[in-house]
Amino acid sequence: MKKFLALALVFLMSACSTEYILMDEDGNPVNEDYYTEGYGNEEMLGEEDLLASSMAERRLSADDVFVVNEEIDSVTYQYKNVRVDEISPLASLYCADAAFGASPYLREVSMYHNGFMRATFDCVNLAI
């Protein structure tokens, strides 16, 4: 048993002292910054910038979002491959028109069949 523990200790020590060498696609050794070159802190975009640029480039189409139910005080959208915060401007426009300046309030988000999601917004007046 002592030999087994000693052997296990030797293997453990050798595993902990192993030095790994980074290799490129051709099997040549490279330095530590090889895979992150050009991505210094001064060149990286902030999270807000990435979100703004991705939302500015993205346009909603009829294949992504469509209206399931419209009422005077609520609207329900069915969507796929978009986030619910990308649909909220549509709900804001609907509530401003249908409920005379009301604001949308997200009541519920539910999973529907075939990977579709449904979001129901209530149109409420937030007067103080």
Sign of the torsion angle spanned by Cα atoms 114, 119, 120, 123: negative
Tell me, what CATH number does 86's domain have?
3.30.1660
* Within a domain: 43: no
How does residue 42 score in pLDDT terms, banded at 50, 70 and 90? very low
- For 76-116, the pLDDT digits (tens) are 999 988 889 989 999 999 999 988 888 999 999 999 878 89
- Is pLDDT of 48 > 80? no
Question: Are 77 and 66 spatial neighbours (Cβ–Cβ below 8 Å)?
Answer: yes
Question: Are 123 and 104 spatial neighbours (Cβ–Cβ below 8 Å)?
Answer: yes
**Higher model confidence: residue 78 or residue 62?**
78
Angle at 81 between CA 77 and CA 85, to 5 degrees: 55
Query: Which pLDDT belongs to residue 39?
Result: 45
Percent of the chain whose pLDDT exceeds 70: 66
Query: Which pLDDT belongs to residue 41?
Result: 46
Q: Is this model's pTM higher than 0.85 or not? A: no
Mean pLDDT of the chain: 76
* Within a domain: 85: yes
* Within a domain: 91: yes
User: Which residues, listed in sequence order, are joined to residue 20 by a DSSP beta bridge?
Assistant: none
* Within a domain: 52: no
The count of domains in the chain is 1
Find the domain containing 82 and state its range: 65-124
* Within a domain: 11: no
* Within a domain: 22: no
**Higher model confidence: residue 93 or residue 58?**
93
